[in-house]
Structure 1
Amino acid sequence: MIERLAISDLVLADVSIPNGNVYYEVGIRHAAQKQGCIMTAATWSKALFDIDQMRQIRYPLPLESISDETAAEIIKIVQTAIPVMAAGDSPFYQVFPKFPEFDPLRATSLKKSLEELSNFQAEIIAARSATGDQRRTRALQLRDRYYTRGPIQKAVAIELLYTLRDCTDWKTTLEFLDELPADLKNSPLVKEQRALVLSKSGNHDDAIGALKELIGTSGDTSERRGLLGGRYKQKWKNITKDPADLSRAITEYENGMRLDLNDYYPSSNLARLYRTRGRKGDEDRARISASITLVASERARARNSNDEWLNPTYLGAAFDAGDVEKAHELADQVREDGPAVWKLDTTLDDCRTAAQLWEEPRRTELLDIVAQLEKVSVAEPKS
């Protein structure tokens, strides 16, 4: 396979399905030959990671049967694009046109850039670890130092975005998003986050429209379906009280859960929504979704995920699953780690709500654990 990839005149790589082997093989070809590698994908495909900056041939591919007319159209699209795209340099040779020769100054520049990114990352961690008003102050200082309303490294922009989102307010975050350069502003990740910020600012309908458009143009992911479910959930909870919006939220969270059972975000929202809706079979669905969240959270913890929302999601899932033993175990961990690590100030209400949805005696057992956690929260020294 490596020999074919390295010496063939032309390589067609279809990335419609997120298969890691194909990405690895494309990387081999990009480094082995300057030209002659073409990526193709169905218009609905979801990339395994961000390859939007790489040229691809997109073709329409129905999810059901493929007619002779559709097949002929796909063939025509690919055949027409081959002569043009095959002559283009691979991303590797665009960076190193004379590889294996390269300018030694590039290595020096790279080392300096990595040192600067490392220092920036340390400052980000310090800002996010701060408490009280210091979190906001440090986040704004980082924004003012590292973003001058001009070109900015994508990694820096994304870290600033997440830090502003979590440490300041929605208006500040939205202003930052809208000032980003066009290429960053139009990237799928930034569009996702902008939709979230719009919704948190109260503009649920625009956020729903933006997420649906993003799914239609850039593909489906568990994160996008989860975000869409969250917008319907907030609309139902805070504005309409319409059971139809509650069911829409459930449907989107379900879609996200099915796309990736290892992503605990969509499933973590389902148990309480099922029990609130109360349709026939919803109690069974609630238990299943809570169990999926527990397993996905445990897997992420075993892999040392750095998601700051993993711990609170894990704790909430124990209450959603009605797992008294697990809730006791995690309450002990909260006491050891401190409530800040478990975001107890934002998680306790969810745990209490989940506990109240159970029948006796489980309800009382879980509420007793909530009371214990409240004491831990109160005992935390305030800055």
Structure 2
Amino acid sequence: MSELDAVRDAGAAGAPDPLCFVLMPFGRKSDVTGATIDFDAVYRELIAPAVRAADLEPLRADEEVTGGIVHKPMFERLILCEFAVADLTFANANVFYELGVRHAVRPYSTVLLFAAGTRLPFDVELDRGIPYALTPTGAPADLDAARRRLSERLMAARDASVDSPVFQLIEGFPEIDRLKTDVFRDQVRYSTMWKERLERARRQGLQAVRAAERELGDLRNVEAGILVDVYLSYRAVNGHEEMVSLAARLPRPLARTPLVREQLGFALNRLGRREEAERVLLALIGERGPSSETYGLLGRVYKDMWSDAREAGEELLAEGLLEKAVEAYLAGFEADWRDAYPGINAVSLMEFQEPPDPRREQLLPVVAYAVDRRLDSGQSDYWDHATRLELAVLAKDEAATRRALGRALAMVRENWEPESTAGNLRLIREARSRRGDDVPWAEAAEQELLRRAGRSSAG
């Protein structure tokens, strides 16, 4: 079994059930013929049990419609939930509107059903809906067969067969691959007032970010962009306990996005809860597949475990953990060669091995090329310049180190960033010193980074 296969198996074992959003009317409803259906019974007795039997978690839509306008949280659930079931009985206008949104953004994983005898509009007649029988009182009948059909259809939907008529009929129709919550704060579009409010709070510190969160009230009614910014604002002020707490209180569709789960792993690791962080990240990899970001965070967990073992004097354990960290970073770099971050970490950790891993000589030019392309794109961030800095130190190029250091210092967004880079440079310096390969000027770069982070080496 390969390293990647082992990680996937380990992660899948701990992965939570995917969410299935249920679009349907509520309560007892009647049509123009006088036929009445108890939709709450349909959900309780038919849909929810069938969804759970398919190893999914049902999430029923709240009645969040005023004046015919669907609220933003409803849109977010329609877009973010991995699966959906839509009951089209009585051609409810809200349900059809929500189904249209779903079909426009999700090419597959939406299952339709309806009460037997329902005449569906032409636009959805081509879809393979599932009929269900009713008792004279409007409750679902023949439950075992109906549940089985719905569960089977939901399990088949895992195979990613296109069921959206938009994606079926329009070749090349664009799919939303990275959802709005899967981008960082500077790419999220939402209320300017709240964006400025949280920028001020980050400058003021942890208590101010806590106060801003309290102003939000019920998180279920807050749009995803604001919640993501609050979450990342806690990260910026080292509010790692608050990140873990907020992640547990976010609406489930948002809490299950890769961004939130990756940053939860980050926060748990910062709190020293390394095994929990490892489980969160392995579960995400097992469910979503390899990602440079997720593997990069997992590599950091193993790197910190390695550091813990070294401090405890457990040298053999430390050697094994260092190897795991290298392999995790390598898997991240191989998942996306354009992302130099896991690549530079793999190369740096290879420098710490005794003897140094010979693969680093092959990787160094590849990592350098990847970061140069990012720098040339005009879309670089702190980590790109920090990568160029570490490459210069590894190459023992003092002039290049000085240039890269100045640019990295100018790009710092959060204090923990230069602190992290300083830690990497210190480890490189110490590893070389043990081999009698001292580079006196390298320590000055560490001190500059720590000063930018608001710390001294003694602190």
Give the alignment's TM-score, normalised by structure 2.
Answer: 0.52
2:285–2:294: 8 Å Cα contact kept in structure 1? Answer: yes
Q: Which position in structure 2 is the counterpart of 1:184? A: 254
Among candidates 291, 315, 327, match of residue 389 of structure 2: 315
Alignment of 1:67-106 (within 5 A): 90=166
Q: Which position in structure 1 is the counterpart of 2:347?
A: 271
Match for residue 285 of structure 1 among 347, 359, 370: 359
CA contact (8 A) 2:385 2:404 kept: no
Q: Is the 8 A contact 1:268 1:317 kept in 2?
A: yes
Determine if contact 2:107/2:163 at 8 Å carries over to the other structure.
Answer: no
Instruction: Select which of 305, 308, 314 maps to 2:379.
Output: 305
Counterpart of 1:152 in structure 2 is 222
CA deviation profile, 1:65-95 (whole Å, cap 9, x unmatched): xxxxxxxxxxx999x87xxx8875659xxxx
Q: Distance in 1 between matches of 2:303 and 2:289?
A: 22
Please tell me the root mean square deviation across aligned C-alpha atoms, in Å.
Answer: 4.2
Residue 331 of structure 2 aligns with an amino acid whose one-letter code is N
User: Would you say the 8 A contact 1:208–1:231 is kept in 2?
Assistant: yes
Higher helix fraction: Structure 1 or Structure 2?
A: 1
- How far is the alpha carbon of 1:150 from its aligned partner? 2.7
Deviation for aligned residue 1:136? 2.4
Structure 1 residues 221-262: Cα deviation after superposition (integer angstroms, max 9, x where no partner): 111111222222211211465121211111111111111111
Q: Evaluate the alpha carbon distance shift between residue 175 and residue 298 of structure 1 in structure 2; reply closer, same or farther with a 3 A threshold.
A: same
- Shift in Å at residue 380 of structure 1? 9.7
Letter in 2 for 1:195: G
Q: Is the 8 A contact 2:209 2:233 kept in 1?
A: yes
Q: 1:296 to 1:156 in 2, by over 3 A?
A: farther
**Which sections of structure 1, spanning at least 5 residues, go unmatched?**
1-48, 59-75, 92-113
Counterpart residue type for residue 221 of structure 1: S
2:195 aligned with 1:121: yes
For residues 133-185 of structure 1, the C-alpha deviation after alignment (integer angstroms, 9 at most, x for no partner) is x2324433332334543332222222221111121321111111111111112
Decide which of 374, 380, 399 is 1:325's aligned counterpart.
399
1:353 matched residue in structure 2: 427
Distance of 1:197 and 1:245 partners within structure 2: 20
Percent same amino acid among aligned pairs?
19
2:76 corresponds to: none
What's the counterpart of residue 56 of structure 1? 108
SS of the residue aligned with 1:56?
coil
Stretches of structure 2 that go unaligned for 5 or more consecutive residues are: 1-78, 84-105, 111-151, 168-187
Quick check: 2:352–2:427 contact (8 Å CA) kept in 1? no
CA contact (8 A) 2:303 2:325 kept: yes
* Shift in alpha-carbon separation, 1:341–1:313, aligned structure 2, 3 A: farther
Shift in alpha-carbon separation, 1:286–1:375, aligned structure 2, 3 A = same
Distance change >3 Å, CA 146–CA 181, structure 1 → 2: same
CA contact (8 A) 2:341 2:383 kept: no
Q: Does the CA contact (< 8 Å) of 1:320 and 1:355 recur in 2?
A: no
CA distance in structure 2 between the partners assigned to 1:231 and 1:155 by the alignment:
27
Q: In structure 1, what residue type is equivalent to 2:326? A: I
CA contact (8 A) 1:315 1:330 kept: yes
What corresponds to 2:291 in structure 1?
221
Secondary structure in structure 2 of the residue aligned to 1:269: helix
Distance 2:235 2:246 in 1: 10
More displaced, 326-335 or 235-244?
A: 326-335
Structure 2 residue aligned with 1:370, among 437, 443, 451?
443
Superimposed CA distance per residue, residues 174-205 of structure 1 (whole angstroms, 9 cap, x where no aligned partner): 11111111111222322222222222222222
Q: 1:173 is matched with which residue?
A: 243
Q: 1:303 to 1:169 in 2, by over 3 A?
A: same
- Tell me the SS of whatever aligns to 1:322: coil
The residue that corresponds to 2:336 in the other structure is: 260
After TM superposition, the score normalised by the length of structure 1 is: 0.61
CA offsets per residue over residues 317-336 of structure 1, 9 Å max, x none?
3213333331132245468x
Q: CA deviation at 1:288?
A: 4.0
Cα distance in structure 1, aligned partners of 2:233 and 2:257: 18
Deviation per CA, 1:281-301: give whole Å up to 9, x if none.
71x423444444443333323
| Aligned residue among 221, 233, 236 for 2:306 | 236
CA 1:275 to 1:117, structure 2 compared with 1: closer, same or farther past 3 Å? same
